[in-house]
A and B are shown apart, each in its own frame.
Chain A
Amino acid sequence: MTASIESTSVRRQNVGRSAAVAGVGGLGGGRRRRITPGRVLVVAALLACSVVFIYPFVWLVSASFKPRGEVFDNQIIPETFTLQNYVQVWQEAPMLLWLGNTVLVTVLAATTVTLSSALVAWGFSYFRFPGRNALFGLVLATMMLPGAVTMIPTFLIWNAVGLTDTLYPLWAGNLFGSAFYIFLLRQFFLGLPRELFDAAKIDGANNWQLFSRIALPLTKPAIIVTLLFEFQAAWTDLMRPLIYLRDSSNFTIPRGLKSLVDRYGFGGEWHWEIIVTASVITTVPMIILFFLGQRHFVEGIATTGSKG
């Protein structure tokens, strides 16, 4: 440990220099450096931690290729390799239907919340009007409200209009924007130079064009972050599907997975190979999503922290 931090100051200077060259102190990592004992120790420690973080995935994927009796044998390479679980899970549960429902909900949730939040954020960042700051304070204040407080009346609304046990309650609320994304997008809109819009106005652009032709394209990274965050949130949500969905043909994939846990888990028939396989199917799309938008995820989260 000592040696590893000994090299700190050397490294610091290097980072300072390379950051200066790059013009930003961003997330990029440093330049080529000498290999020191300290660095070797750091990398060794990181590798050890990585095993802890990666192994559960390996375990899960490996178990999904094992027959029922071997699921719990904790071996990396399945003793008996089988694809039977993937065949069986498709027969036991309407996985394709669940995946379809989930894709529908996540796409609608992500696009609607992004568009509506961007509109609202633009309204709060570009225009000046009396009461703006008070109103925006109200937006921020709603973030402090736990979902539990509004959960029951919101359910009663959907119940009153007869739309429980449909997919609408899982995304339609997003048509009205979401405080967190409004906050995030507003920060980005505020960073755009005002002269840009004054110039466009002189050229005859109206308010809608200022928003859609100039502001939106220029904040593309923030838009992508919003889409990705909400896509993940909608895909992984369990609470709302639990509240709203009764018929298993309407389930999203996490709700479906939960029903499989109930049916085949410790309280049920002990077919863990099915649960394990369904878990892999539920998780893989999120892993793919991460690798598609990795940079945006990381930068989005880092921004969230610095703006808080």
Chain B
Amino acid sequence: MTATTQRTPAAVGATRPRQAQRVNRRRETRAALLFISPWIVGFLVLTLWPVLYSGYLSLTDYDVFNAPNFVGLENYQRLAADDDARRAIGNTFFYAVIQVPLQVIVSLALALLLNQAGRSSGFFRTVFFLPRMTPPVAVGVLLLLLFNGQDGLINEVLGWFGIDGPNWTTDSAWVKPGLILMSLWAVGSSVIILLAALRNVPTELYDAARVDGANPWQKTTRITVPMISGALFFVFIINSIDALQSFTEAYTAYFGAGNSTYSNEAAEFYSIYLFREAFEFLHMGYASALAWVLFVIILAITLVQLKVSKRFVYYEGDQR
């Protein structure tokens, strides 16, 4: 463990240094493993075992109180025929397919604006980031209040323009759009990532474009967007993974004790369905199967995105 390993008596013959080197290496490995050991223990106990056990549970019927009862692939067959699960998947995809592109577009627009703002950009960046600090539970509360159909602020503002706003929180056709709009409030970190990327675009490119007579729209679409495509793609993937696991805001607003009174099926995302199956109905076996299907879905979508991105994404210094 100490620095003594370094003292190699080099002059004592040909075999000794090699031996010392081997001892050295073994000591270095041992020291490294000592530093890494917290992760190794955590990986074995809190990741590897749970993954294996979850796989096993997904093949059983288990309610915590009685021992798991092996049922083979029954849970997966049930899942394939489960209308509630299908609705939850539909809700989740509806949300993700609209929310993710919207979030990327909105954060790109804000980042482009910020990049033009000069000295005031620091102030506005803070403003745009603040909602991100709000606990998602409080965001769920805000959703119920601001999007309230009768007296909510959103409908009042829509009313100024003569628009009769929908019942965002009770009409099942408008529950997900409400959740999507509310989620856009928290685009702050995407804005920061994109802004940092914008600041790294070499200015010569714009000068060259100006000489060539490019208009602002051309500069944005032909230079800016391609140059930050790496960051755009990163934001896209991270937001996709988040959106597919969206839980807290919708759960706060539409689920939990005493929330049976109004339409919340439209807000039952996959994660919420899984959570309720596991911890409200104690269908631990079935919920484990749901979890594995979620894993496969996320993995597949991410891999497809990675594959597609190879065509569009430009990385600086990428010579491959």
Contacts and interface: CB of A to CB of B under 8 A. Distances in A.
Interface of A: 1-2, 4-9, 11-13, 15-16, 25-27, 29-33, 38-39, 42-43, 45-46, 49-50, 52-57, 59-60, 63, 71-74, 116, 119-120, 122-124, 126-130, 132, 135, 138-139, 142, 144-157, 159, 173, 175-177, 182, 201-202, 204-208, 211, 232, 235-236, 238-239, 242-243, 253-254, 257-259, 261-263, 265-268, 272, 275-276, 279, 282-283, 286-287, 289-290, 294, 297-298, 301-302, 304-306, 308
Contacts of A132: 32
B200 to A, nearest CB: 6
B185 to A, nearest CB: 7
Contacts of B220: 5
Interface in B95-118: 110, 113-114, 116-118
Given A49-B128, A57-B130, A177 B39 contact: yes
B287 interface: yes
Interface stretch (B69-77, B142-150, B171-179): B142-150
Contacts of B247: 238-239
A243 to B, nearest CB: 6
Nearest to B262: A266
Interface residues of B, number: 114
Report, nearest first, the 5 A-B pairs whose CB atoms are least far apart: A176-B42, A123-B35, A305-B193, A5-B216, A127-B32
B251 A238 contact: yes
B136 A150 contact: no
| Secondary structure of the B contact surface, majority rule | helix
A120 B38 contact: yes
Interface of B: 1-3, 6, 25, 28-29, 31-36, 38-39, 41-43, 45-47, 49-51, 53-54, 57, 64, 110, 113-114, 116-122, 124-131, 133-138, 140-142, 144-146, 148, 150-153, 156, 169, 185, 189, 192-197, 199-200, 203, 206-207, 210, 216, 219-220, 231, 234-235, 238, 245, 247-248, 251-252, 256-262, 271, 274-275, 278-279, 284, 287-288, 290-292, 294-295, 298-299, 302
A271 B146 CA distance: 16
A46 B124 contact: yes
A145 B197 contact: no
Contacts of A147: 245
A12 B46 CA distance: 50
A11 B291 contact: no
